[in-house]
């Protein structure tokens, strides 16, 4: 299992434009085989900070996610939607405690 956790920042004044872009990415990613969680949420103290949490069954599932058209569109739309300051960490949780 691979877990990604972190943040992305929406530039001031760009939130209304960024939210539909984020919603498209989340909906498409949640539908992928091997994606068991894909959550983006707005920080309650900073409405321009987006918290990111993703879980994939395997590295292969994460690699497949990164090869999808919606991932390419997500990355390509960052500048137009004011999305930046990405800080995401990746964790291999294969030896997960139950």
Name the average pLDDT for the chain. 93
CATH number at residue 40: 3.30.70.100
The total number of structural domains in the chain stands at: 1
Position 79 in a domain: yes
Position 97 in a domain: no
Domain holding 36, by residue range, is 2-92
Residue 96 clears pLDDT 80, i.e. is over it:
no
Q: Which residues of 76-98 are buried (b: 16+ CB within 10 A; e: fewer)?
A: ebeeebbbeeeeeeeeeeeeeee
Position 15 in a domain: yes
Residue 84 clears pLDDT 90, i.e. is over it:
no
Position 98 in a domain: no
Position 52 in a domain: yes
The total number of residues shown for the chain amounts to 98
Residue 29 clears pLDDT 90, i.e. is over it:
yes
16 CB burial (10 A radius; 0-12, 13-18, 19+): exposed
Tell whether pTM > 0.85: yes
Q: What is the pLDDT of residues 31-44, one digit of tens each?
A: 999 999 999 999 99
Residue 81 clears pLDDT 80, i.e. is over it:
yes
Position 34 in a domain: yes
């Amino acid at each position: 299992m691979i877990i990604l956790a972190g943040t992305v920042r929406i530039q001031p004044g760009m939130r209304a434009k960024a939210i539909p872009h984020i919603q498209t990415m989340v909906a498409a990613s949640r539908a992928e085989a091997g994606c068991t969680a894909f959550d983006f949420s707005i920080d309650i103290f900073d409405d321009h900070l987006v918290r990111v949490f993703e879980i994939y069954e395997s590295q292969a599932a994460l690699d497949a996610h990164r090869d999808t058209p919606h991932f390419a569109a997500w990355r390509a739309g960052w500048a137009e939607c004011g999305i930046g300051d990405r800080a995401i960490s990746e964790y291999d949780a294969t030896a997960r405690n139950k």
